[in-house]
């Protein structure tokens, strides 16, 4: 079965993650796809195919040569974003796309235009895959899933390619930040791994944000507003004043890109008595998070003093820049570069302005950069991928296996 055929089948399973769920995986659809994949991996001839109680699927491509070679891993996540409908996805193939606008049939306002999408413009002549206009496509990350399965099938069918033991991992709930939560690094047993969860062909990502979240809670005093003179202290007004004082021209998502970090208020729970503002802290340099935290605490403290509220802070670590780990294992990234070159592409290296499962896995002892999988416009009705990029992904994985096998 080709990588495209696999992809077209996987996207029809609804695997939308659900942040409000306490189970792992967060939704039953993810288990449905994991069972399909487990059966396929068995059929291909992989060993140790195990789907665990939390919805993590692992398997092994046995080494094709004897000797003491390092075990490497390839990872992809089976869930899709909670931000967009993922049920009844109808993938549409646009063979040898000629560059004209692609109007999605179920919603005429959903149009892909080469002029508005440079990655798409670079794919004229490719076999483009889109959804039908009302759902996401799920290339994030079923493109990665299809690439990993197809590459495993290729390696099993071509024992003349020298490679060591290769572990495959299919994880749930990446989109809600839980993909690494129950990932058993010891059981996976690889020296390093690669997530297949990136964009255009050639992309290689090994730097991510370091991330904390701080909850700023203002405590006021509530009383009947008709008789509140001199006694009411409104925590909502304090929180509003605090948010208004956060930086605008710098340190905000709206005004930064590249290597600039930000401080981002993204959720408020409000009442007169008590109002909490959740603020994301993001920077590529972990130590800078302390400066951002100090800034937030200073601004909120000033507002509390002015408004007669009491303010409390709670900081939670989210993830750290994977580069701090990967710099200690330069071969992991270097071999990815080499594999990308071997399939005829020039590596495109850029920082991830977010985190991946690899950010956390790297700090759990599994150095894990991210490779392209041909994902474009993810979490959107305009999501697309292409057969050619999927195939380049498969070839890159095969080349990586070969590089670690010599």
Beta carbon of residue 167, minimum distance to Zn ion (angstroms, whole number)? 19
Binding segment toward Zn ion, per CB under 5 A, in 115-123, 139-147, 211-219, 347-355:
139-147
Measured from the CB atom, is 141 or 383 closer to Zn ion? 141
Q: How far is the CB of 379 from Zn ion (least distance, A)?
A: 9
Interface with Zn ion (CB under 5 A), residue from 141, 173, 357, 389: 141
For the CB of residue 227, give the shortest distance to Zn ion in the complex, in Å: 54
Q: List the one residue out of 192, 184, 198, 170 whose CA is nearest residue 73.
A: 192
Closest by CA to 209, choosing from 313, 288, 315, is 288
40 carries an active-site annotation: no
CB under 8 Å to 162, separation ≥6 — which residues? 64, 65, 402, 405, 406
Decide if 174 is catalytic: yes
Q: How far apart are CA 125 and CA 109, in angstroms?
A: 24
Q: Which of 14, 79, 173, 197 binds Zn ion (CB under 5 A)?
A: 197
Catalytic residue among 40, 174, 375, 399: 174
Q: Could you tell me if 120 and 56 are in contact, meaning their C-beta atoms sit under 8 angstroms apart?
A: no
The order of strands in the sheet holding 128-130 is: 92-94, 128-130, 384-386
Residue placing its CB nearer to Zn ion in the complex, 25 or 220 = 25
Helix (H, G, I), strand (E, B) or coil at 279: strand
Minimum CB distance to Zn ion, residue 321 (Å) = 18
Q: Is residue 383 a contact point for Zn ion (CB under 5 A)?
A: no
Q: Smallest gap, in angstroms, from Cβ of residue 72 to Zn ion?
A: 20
Region near Zn ion per CB under 5 A, out of 96-104, 157-165, 195-203, 298-306: 195-203
Residue 318 CB neighbours (<10 A): 17
- Applying CB under 5 A, the span of 54-62, 128-136, 190-198, 234-242 interacting with Zn ion comes to 190-198
Give the range of 193-201, 233-241, 277-285, 312-320 binding Zn ion by CB under 5 A: 193-201
Gap between the Cα atoms of 218 and 215, Å rounded:
10
- Name the strand (E) or helix (H) holding 211: strand 210-219
Residue number with CB closer to Zn ion (27 or 292): 27
- Catalytic option among 14, 40, 79, 203: 79
CB count, 10 Å around CB of 212? 21
Count, residues near Zn ion per rule CB under 5 A? 3
The verdict on whether omega for the bond into residue 141 sits within 30 degrees of 0, i.e. cis, is yes
Asked if residue 205 binds Zn ion (CB under 5 A), the reply is no
Q: From the CB of 31, what's the least distance to Zn ion, in Å?
A: 18
Both structure tokens of 228: 């509140």
Closer to Zn ion by CB, 140 or 383: give it.
Answer: 140
At residue 251, the 3 state secondary structure works out as: coil
> Which of 140, 205, 283, 399 is the binder for Zn ion (CB under 5 A)?
140
For residue 98, is it left (φ>0), alpha (ψ between -120 and 50) or beta?
A: alpha
Work out how close the CB of 331 gets to Zn ion at its nearest, in angstroms, rounded to a whole number. Answer: 25
Segment near Zn ion (CB under 5 A); pick from 46-54, 194-202, 244-252, 392-400: 194-202
Q: Residue 40 or residue 197: which is nearer to Zn ion going by CB?
A: 197
Asked if 399 interacts with Zn ion (CB under 5 A), we say no
- Which strand (E) or helix (H) includes residue 302? helix 288-307
Give CA separation, 406 vs 75, 161, 164, in Å: 22, 10, 8
DSSP 287: T
Which CB atom, from 146 or from 238, has the smaller least distance to Zn ion?
Answer: 146
C-beta of 44 vs 357, nearer to Zn ion: 357
| Count of C-beta atoms within a 10 Å radius of residue 23 | 13
**Residues annotated catalytic, as ranges:** 79, 174
Question: Which residues contact Zn ion by CB under 5 A?
Answer: 140-141, 197
């Amino acid at each position: 079965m080709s990588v495209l055929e696999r992809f077209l089948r996987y996207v029809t399973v609804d695997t939308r993650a659900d942040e409000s769920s306490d189970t792992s995986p967060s939704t039953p659809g993810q288990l449905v796809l994991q069972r399909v994949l487990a059966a396929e991996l068995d059929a291909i001839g992989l060993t140790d195919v195990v789907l665990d109680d939390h919805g993590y699927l692992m398997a092994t491509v046995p080494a094709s040569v004897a000797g003491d070679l390092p075990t490497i891993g390839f990872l992809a996540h089976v869930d899709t974003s909670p931000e967009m409908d993922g049920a009844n996805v109808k993938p549409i193939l646009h063979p040898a796309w000629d560059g004209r606008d692609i109007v999605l049939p179920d919603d005429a306002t959903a149009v892909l235009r080469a002029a508005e999408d440079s990655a798409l413009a670079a794919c004229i002549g490719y076999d483009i895959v889109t959804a039908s206009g009302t759902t996401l496509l799920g290339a994030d990350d079923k493109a990665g899933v299809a690439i990993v399965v197809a590459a495993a099938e290729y390696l099993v069918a071509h024992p003349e390619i020298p490679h060591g033991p290769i572990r495959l991992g299919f994880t749930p709930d990446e989109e809600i930040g839980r993909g690494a939560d129950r990932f058993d690094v010891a059981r996976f047993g690889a020296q390093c791994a690669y997530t297949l969860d990136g964009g255009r062909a050639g992309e290689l990502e090994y730097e991510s944000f370091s991330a904390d979240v701080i909850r700023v809670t203002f405590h006021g005093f509530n009383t009947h507003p008709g008789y509140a003179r001199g006694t009411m202290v409104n925590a909502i007004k304090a929180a509003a004043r605090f948010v208004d004082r956060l930086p605008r021209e710098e340190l905000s998502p709206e005004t930064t890109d590249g290597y600039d970090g930000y401080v981002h208020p993204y959720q408020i729970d409000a009442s007169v008595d008590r109002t909490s503002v959740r603020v994301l802290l993001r920077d590529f340099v972990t130590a800078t998070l302390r400066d951002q935290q100090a800034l937030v605490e200073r601004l909120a403290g000033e507002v509390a003093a002015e408004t007669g509220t009491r303010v409390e802070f709670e900081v939670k670590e989210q993830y750290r820049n994977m580069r701090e780990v990967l710099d200690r294992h330069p071969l992991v990234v270097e071999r990815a570069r080499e594999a990308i070159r071997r399939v005829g592409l020039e590596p495109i290296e850029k920082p991830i302005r977010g985190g991946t499962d690899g950010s956390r896995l790297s700090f759990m002892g599994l150095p894990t950069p991210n490779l392209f999988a041909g994902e474009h416009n993810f979490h959107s009705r305009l999501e697309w991928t292409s057969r050619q990029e999927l195939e380049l992904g498969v070839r890159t994985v095969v080349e990586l296996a070969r590089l670690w096998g010599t």
